[in-house]
Structure formats: C-alpha cells, structure tokens
Amino acid sequence: MRDIHPFLVLSPRIFNEKTSLVIGLPMTTAEYNVDNPFAVAVGQAKGRKAQQISYILCHQPKSFDWRLRNSKPHPLRVLSDGLFAQVCACLNQIIRLGSVWQDNNMESRGGIATTRRSRGGKQSVVLRK
C-alpha cells in the first residue's frame, strides 16, 4: 500500500475526540534521515519496507482531521516509553516546551493508526493510549 503513511500522535485522546484533530509528527523510512539530528530512529519498518529503519520527524509537526481521513490503528500501535521520551526531548529542542514533556502525570503514549486523505489516499497515524 504505497499510500499509507505513519504518524506519531502527540495530542491527548480527549482533545482528539472533541476536535476530530490529531497533532503529531510524521514518520518515514527515507535513508537520508540517518544524519538528521531531528529524526528519531524507532526501529525496523514492517511490510514491504522491512529492511529499512523507521524515523519520526520531530521538525515537522502537523495536524489533520482524523475522522475526515477515516483513521485506523496501525499495527505498531504504541511507542515504548523510552522512544516516546526521546521524541519529546527532540521536539522540545525546537519548540521549547520545557518540563511539560517530562511530567510523570501525562497520560499519553504514542500509538499508530491509518487515515484516508481527502483525495482518497491513506495515511497512518500513531494514536495515544
């Protein structure tokens, strides 16, 4: 499926449900990100890109309407706590949220889903628990 794109959702579930929006970071397997200081390697891709490394692009925050795009959970579902913290720390270098990302009471974790683009393509997103 060439039209599926993974996406790490950072916004909390209650926000996502009330607004139909998700805020997060795109994921890619593009090899040139190996030297990108704002791309966090999260492990080997699955499926047709199984031999490639997946990266979360911390320098490209985005939002979209997950209901309009018919979002579905991605098989990866959730990032480990360590990788999620690493992504948040990298994003914090850019937007300077300070200790917000380190709050132990934060209920969210990254998860993945699949969405439909408005032109009929699909997009994967990582949803929160």
Taking only the tens place, the pLDDT of each residue in 69-100 is 888 777 777 888 999 999 999 999 898 765 55
Taking the mean position of all CA atoms in its chain, how far away is CA 82?
15
Say what percent of the chain tops pLDDT 70: 72
Number of H helices and number of E strands within the chain? 2, 8
Residue labelled with tokens 């300070």 = 98
CB distance 112 to 41 below 8 Å: no
Comparing 82-86, 87-91, 110-114, 115-119, which segment has the lowest mean pLDDT?
115-119
- Where are the chain's structural domains? 7-126
Nearest to 9 by CA among 112, 114, 82: 112
The length of the chain is 129
For residue 89, report the phi and psi dihedrals to the nearest 5 degrees.
Answer: -65, -40
Separation of alpha carbons 96 and 101, rounded Å: 10
- pLDDT above 50 for 120: no
Answer CATH for 7-126 from 1.20.1050.10, 3.60.15.10, 1.20.140.10, 2.30.30.110: 2.30.30.110
Separation of alpha carbons 129 and 126, rounded Å: 10
Separation of alpha carbons 48 and 8, rounded Å: 20
- Looking at residue 99, its pLDDT comes to 54
